[in-house]
Amino acid sequence: MFKEFKTFIMRGNVLDLAIAVIIGGAFGKIVTSLVNDIIMPPIGLVLGKVDFSNLFLNLSGTPYTSVVEAKKAGVPTINYGMFLNTLIDFLIVALVIFFVVRFANKLQLTKPAPAATKECPHCLSVIPVKATRCPHCTSELKAA
């Protein structure tokens, strides 16, 4: 049973999937940092010094100045600023994956192999492309 499990794990596609998950997790952290630390601060500055991670709707009657303060008090909140950050996160990851898949598809495109056979114009039999005479009707053919 251990040998069978080892064979399963050592298959190329299982290892590729494991590597993809690990790299994807690391890439997700990079994109999250990109969104939270580089993209959103200038957008927040342009929109009037808004910190998107601190945008929330307080569902209680008591006012709170930050999400952290409301969470400490145990107040229910709708954190739409964090949702916006996560949405932008997702869109960037989806865009990068789109470009990676598009690039991979371009690498995999191969031209179809040239035809190995053709039809005889006289008897319509299938013959090799390089044939100069049809083996069925013995007609002379133009060179390919």
pLDDT averaged over the chain? 84
Query: Which architecture does CATH list for 2-110?
Result: Orthogonal Bundle (1.10)
The dihedrals phi and psi of 73, each to the nearest 5 degrees, come to -80, -5
**Domain map (residue ranges) of the chain:** 2-110, 113-144
The model's pTM: 0.56
pLDDT (tens digit per residue) in 54-89: 888 888 888 888 888 888 988 999 998 889 888 888
- 118 pLDDT higher than 60: yes
Q: Identify the burial level of 35 via C-beta atoms within 10 angstroms of its C-beta, where 0-12 means exposed, 13-18 middle and 19 or more buried.
A: buried
Q: How does pLDDT run across 135-144, given as a tens digit for each residue?
A: 889 888 876 5
Tens digits of per-residue pLDDT, 88-105? 888 888 888 888 888 888
Residue 12: the pLDDT is 64
Do 58 and 69 meet the contact criterion of CB atoms below 8 Å apart?
Answer: no
Q: How far apart are CA 28 and CA 21, in angstroms?
A: 10
- Region of residue 138 (phi > 0: left; psi between -120 and 50: alpha; otherwise: beta): left
- List CB contacts of 116: < 8 A, sequence separation 6 or more: 128, 129
